Amino acid sequence: MQKIVILTGAGISAESGLGTFRDEDGLWVRHRIEDVATPEGFARDPQLVHGFYNARRAQASEARPNPAHQALARLQQSAPGEVVIVTQNVDSLHEAAGARGVLHMHGRLSGALCATCGHRWPAPAKMQPEDACPACGARATRPDVVWFGEIPHHMDEIWQHLDAADLFAAIGTSGQVYPAAAFGQEAARAGAHTVQLNLDPADNARDFAEHRHGPASKIVPAWVEEILGA
C-alpha cells in the first residue's frame, strides 16, 4: 500500500476566492512582508498586523472548498494506503472539504496564540492588541500563524513522512519559500515519485519528475481519479 504525501499552497485556494501571495495582485504585491508577516512588524505596529489578519480571517470564513480540496479529501478517504496532507495555507478549506489530520505548517487564522505564555485558543473574528490572554492575562495575543523568521510547525513529523513517501505531490505553491520548497527534493532523495500540479511551472520545477499545469480545480480531481482508478 502506498504512502502519499501532499503539500498544498495558496494556489489550491485561489479558485475559492482567496488571494495568492506572489501572483499579479497577490497579497505580497499589495502589502510589505516586513510590515505584516514578521515578529518585528508586529512589535512595531500590532494594530496594523491584527487588521491584516482580521481581514484575511473574515475573507476565509466566507470561502468554500473547491473541487481540488474535495478531491484530496476523497483521496484520503478512498486510497488504500495513507494520505498525509501538509499545507502552507492558513485557511481551513481542507478540513471544510472533509480532510483529516492536516498538518498546518504555517499555522491557522482560526487560532490565537499568547506571545508571553504560549497558550493557544480559538481566535475571535476580530483580534486586537488590547485582548488579554485567557490563561496568563498578558496583553500580547497574536494570530497563531507562522511569520518570516519563525520556525514552521510539525517539521519533525513532516520530514519523517517525506522520508517514507512513495508518492509526493506539490499543489499550487510557487516553490519560493523554504523549507516547503525543498520537500520535493527530499522526497525524491528518499525514493518517492514526485509530481508538481500548478497553474504554471514553479521555481523548483526541476526537482519534480512529473508536471501537470492548469487550474487546481481541474487538474487535481483528474489526478486523484487516476490514482483511485489505477
Binding residues for ligand OAD, rule: CB under 6 A, are: 9-11, 14-15, 20-23, 26, 37, 88, 106, 146, 148, 172-174, 176-177, 198-200, 202, 215-216
Catalytically annotated residues = 106
Closest C-alpha to 190, from 219, 168, 205, 173: 168
Please give the backbone phi and psi of residue 84, each rounded to the nearest 5 degrees, phi first: -105, 125
Q: Which residue is nearest to ligand OAD (CB)?
A: 11
Min. distance of Cβ 134 from ligand OAD in angstroms? 26
Q: Does an H or E element contain 230, and which? A: none
Name the amino acid, one letter, at 129: P
Cis peptide before 179 (omega within 30 of 0): yes
Min. distance of Cβ 27 from ligand OAD in angstroms? 8
Min. distance of Cβ 70 from ligand OAD in angstroms? 14
| Buried-exposed string 139-176: b where 16+ CB fall within 10 A, e elsewhere | ebbbbbbbbeeeebbeeeebeebbeebbbbbbbbbbbe
Closest C-alpha to 97, from 130, 125, 63, 127: 63
Min. distance of Cβ 5 from ligand OAD in angstroms? 16
Query: Whose Cβ is closer to ligand OAD: residue 63's or residue 177's?
Result: 177
Measured CA to CA, the distance from residue 170 to residue 206 in angstroms comes to: 13
Query: Whose Cβ is closer to ligand OAD: residue 136's or residue 155's?
Result: 155
Query: Whose Cβ is closer to ligand OAD: residue 172's or residue 221's?
Result: 172
Cβ proximity of 166 and 209 under 8 Å? no
